[in-house]
Structure formats: C-alpha cells, structure tokens
Structure 1
C-alpha cells in the first residue's frame, strides 16, 4: 500500500471500525442514493468498511474510488447513526461520513485516480475561475446579475453569489439585493469574485479549493471586508467549515446566511410581506442547512409571514431522508442518479397536494424543476417568493 493510503487508513481506522463493527446500518434508510439504487457498495456503511479493508491491506483506493462518487454529502447518515445518537453526548463522538467521503476523494486525486466528469469540471473551473454551470461563464460576467442595481464594490459587508445563482439563476441574487435594499441593509460586491472552492473540495481537488479560497480571502482583506452574506447553503458550508480549516484563527470574517438575516429583518419589522401569493406550497430543506447546520426554523418563519400561502409542512426530522441529489458533485458525474433522487423528492411533495415546492438552494432548483414538470409542481426559490410578497420582485 502506498504511504499516503497507509497514513489515511491509520487516521480513519478507529472511526471506520466503529461503524463497521456496529452492524446497525440504519444509515441506509435515510441515504438518498441507497433509496433509489439499493446498492450496498454505495452505502455509508460500505464507505467505512472499505477503509477497514484498506487498513488491512486488502484494498487500495483505486479499487473503490468510483464507489465514493455515490454520495451527495447530505449528512443524513450521520444524524441517523446510533454511534452519534447513543455515544455522541457521552464520548463526544460523531460519525463523520461526509468528511470520510471527502477524504477518500482527495486521496484518490492525489494518487492520480480521477473520475472523468469531475476532472473535466475542475479543469474548466480552474481555467475560468468559475464553475461551468452555463454558457458564457467568465470572470467578466460574474456581476452581470447585478446590472442596473447600483451596487458598489467592497465595503465592510459584501454579498457572495455562488456560480449557479450568478450565471444560471440571476433572478435569485437580484431578489436578495432588492429585498435587502428595501430593508435599508447596505452591502457591496467583491472586486474579483472566484468560485468559493467548495465543489472542488467535495470532488477531491483540495489543492484547487485552497487556491480559490486564498484568492477570495485576499480580495476580502484588500477591500476591508469584515462580513460576507451568503445565499447558497453550499457556500455557507464552505465558508464556515472549509475556510476555517484552511486558515485557522486567521480567518476572522463573519459569515451570515441570508435566509437567517431575512427572518431576523422580518421579526424586527424592517420587512413586512404584504402582497398575497396564492400558492399551495411545501418546503424542501436544503441538506446543508437542515441536516448539516440545524437551520430549519428561519425558512419556515419567512414562509409563514407571506400572506396568501397555504403551507403544508412535514417535520424537519422526516426531511432527513429528503434530498435533491444535486450535492457532493453527484450531478456532475452521475446526472441520471441525481434525477432519480429529485423524482423521489418530488413524489413526497405530490403526496401533500401542493402546486409548488419552495427551496432555498440554487443548486437544488435545477434537478427539482425537471422532476416537477412531470407532476405539474413548480419550484420556486424562497428569496424570490419573499421579494414577490414585498413587491420588489425583479
């Protein structure tokens, strides 16, 4: 076994054995990939068992790297794992399957074991400094969504707009800008915004992710930025988990999730939704908010503040097993599997008799919209819905 694989197996040995020896496999119930494939090699349990086999010298990363594509990074398995539920409080132990998957992917890339679509995606991202989410992606167009909004560059507070929203869903950041402007909440934009680097890290291209992070942090420091507003849950994970890991205590930027900010502005009376929106809706919890960060109340506060809505909800624990399939790079390497997961999620919405599924994740919106067409269920972004009710929809 090559030394990097040996060191990795030693690092993850205890966590892998802890999972492998428990035998409960409750994680399979909530894993979106397992729900649509039933493939045991793609289960959270198997991801840990492979490390046990690597530690014993029975497998190498090249033998199993392709299996680790089949994870959206949603984190449901960690919540459902008895090792987290029963021993977490006492032993301060939590199953870290998401980190393990990212670790194996990174190890594979360092060992020159690549997945073809991921490799090409990251090559294009490196060339353009932005992900290839649409035609015409380039540094020169990263602020096109803000045309006509009279926004400044720099300042103490800036809005970071992810690649998907900036190039493919520009009405989402425009809605955010209009709503914050209505509330009198000032902010600017980055001088030269690159991709956050999170997707590269999730696919195993950690060196590229760090390079992008270093650029963005340097841009913030040069412009006097102290606070970064984030509308995308994936960016929120990157800025609150990856960047602190890269920079340690030197990362002293406050990261604010826009959904939480908007809920607070409504509570303070600075925003008052008043235009009725006549829809029957349910809410899709983005995995990286509900499952990964425990953020579920604020989106529902916003929905309940919008007049005209008929809101059919399910509890947040039930949504542990709900996923769009768009995370963790799955949609890049296996779009057909993402489509199946989105179709399953839309089936849950159809059971509630709604005409609209609301989400707060630009990345989830694309596959969910495709799945909703067959059921005549529309997909609407929460930020846009609020802007409509406030009368400032772009």
Structure 2
C-alpha cells in the first residue's frame, strides 16, 4: 500500500517519522510547547493542541491558554508534543498511525492530569473514537473534551464573563467536531454569552455544515479540491453578512482564511480571549 501512495502522502509519512509532525518543522511554533515551565504536575487540565495550532496557528493555542488562565484553571502540556496520527490514518498509513497513537496514550497515562482538552475536532475524534474503535487502544479513565465544551461549562459556572462586543458573528461547524463528535451547542453557548454579539447562521449549518476542505488528507493529496472547498464554505458562511466568522478549529480557520479577507475568520478562543 505504501508503494501505491502518492508522493505527497509519502512526504507526510516521512515528515512524521523524521520530525514528529506532518509539516516537517523542527519544533512547534507555539513556544509553550518548548518550555518546561508549562509542564505542571497536578494541573486541572492537560491542553493537547493539534498540529495546526501547534505549528501553523500558534496564536489560537496561546488564546486557549489565556482563556484557561483567565478562568483560574491550572493547565499543563505534555513534555514533548506528539502527533496524534489523524492525518496518517486519513492517508492510509495505519501501522504508523497506530504507533503514534500508542505514544500518545502512553504519554497521557504517564501524566497525572486526567482531563484532556483538544482545540481540534479532528484530534478529539481521533483520540476519543478512532483510538478505541479503529486502533484498539483504550482511553478509559481519561476525560476527553473539546475546548468549546469546557469553555461552555466555565461560562455556566460564572468563571468566564465577557466584555461587550457589537458584532454579527457566524459560527462554522468543523466536520469532525460536529458530525463526528456531535458538538454543536457548546460553541454557540459561549458566543451567545458575549453581550452585544449577534449570532447568525448560514443556510447550511450544524449537521449540514459545509466542509472547509481541510479533512481527509486533501490538503496534501488534492490541494486544488481543498481550495475549491474553502471557497465554497467561505461563500456560504458570508451569506448572513457577518462581521466575523468563528470556527472551532485552527485547521478550519487556516483554510477558511485562504478564501476570506484578512482578519475575517477567527478560532473560537481567539475571539473570546479578546473580550475577557
């Protein structure tokens, strides 16, 4: 199967093998992943950013960290970032994905924090669903949550309060977070808690939301289709004439941003960190 894989897919496999991430970068762009000071024993939550937040959209990872700190949550990260293997699995490298998954599960179990937060629906779905169902790896004993779910709980408990924001905002449902994990209400609950914000919906939303083009390994194997999907999703999300488009994934943010004016799309934590 490896001999039949396209060169672009093989490049991802080699990058993960050689550098530990699908981008082939020597170190994460989010500096906290390279700082031992942010590995904190006994923390309430462990934040596990996906590769895109760690290497391509570090401002989204930092915004998540800032929101947690503002709410008084003690958070930690793994001593070394580990690729969860979702892209490898999508591209058909099952054995390599299984090896990555074993590394992740081992690292999570060695940590004394049992609540794991993901800011990506892809990584969340990979660990929560694909690890036990496809790869046969148990994640029992770990509480796995998307950051939007955790933020919604903090809002309900009065631990997150926001400054007013006079803006029309359309929320984009990432595929794996929505259709994969059923998380639709939590991000909308967080956005609706911001005074002055008007939450709008595109014609196709929730279960029928339009893909940004970032899933299925397409950015590597079919970049033209990815670009077309991003253009289609951006056009759909712009129909309610929002001031901002917010999505629950740094990965989706990058693809939507390629088809929208600069500053038009934000990851959820980026928006709320600006109104704390």
Instruction: Give the TM-score normalised by structure 2.
Output: 0.90
Question: Which is strand-richer, 1 or 2?
Answer: 2
What RMSD over aligned residues (CA atoms) do the two structures have, in Å? Answer: 2.3
User: Residue 164 of structure 1 is aligned with which of 49, 52, 55?
Assistant: 52
Name the residue aligned to 2:274. Answer: 388
Is this contact kept in 1: 2:30–2:59, CA < 8 A? no
Count of aligned pairs: 274
Structure 2 unaligned segments of length 5 or more: list them. none
What is the Cα deviation at residue 223 of structure 1?
2.8
Is this contact kept in 2: 1:359–1:365, CA < 8 A? yes
User: Residue 267 of structure 1 is aligned with which of 140, 145, 156?
Assistant: 156
Name the residue aligned to 2:12. Answer: 121
In the alignment, does 2:248 pair up with 1:348?
A: no
Q: Deviations over 1:110-147 (max 9, x none)?
A: xx3212211111111111011207xxx22x54651467
Name the residue aligned to 1:177. Answer: 65
Is this contact kept in 2: 1:151–1:189, CA < 8 A? yes
Is this contact kept in 2: 1:343–1:368, CA < 8 A? yes
Q: Deviations over 1:261-320 (max 9, x none)?
A: 00011011011112x223222111111122122210111111111123232124775651
Is this contact kept in 1: 2:36–2:79, CA < 8 A? no
Residue correspondence of structure 1 range 8-27 to structure 2 within 5 A: none
Structure 1 unaligned segments of length 5 or more: list them. 1-107
Is this contact kept in 2: 1:354–1:377, CA < 8 A? no
In the alignment, does 2:147 pair up with 1:258?
A: yes
Name segments (4+ residues, structure 1) moved above 6 Å.
none
Q: Go from structure 1 to structure 2 and tell me whether the alpha carbon gap of 1:258 and 1:383 turns closer, same or farther (over 3 Å shift).
A: same
Q: Go from structure 1 to structure 2 and tell me whether the alpha carbon gap of 1:193 and 1:148 turns closer, same or farther (over 3 Å shift).
A: closer
In the alignment, does 2:80 pair up with 1:201?
A: no
In the alignment, does 2:125 pair up with 1:237?
A: yes
Instruction: Give the TM-score normalised by structure 1.
Output: 0.65
Question: Which is helix-richer, 1 or 2?
Answer: 1
Q: Go from structure 1 to structure 2 and tell me whether the alpha carbon gap of 1:190 and 1:182 turns closer, same or farther (over 3 Å shift).
A: same
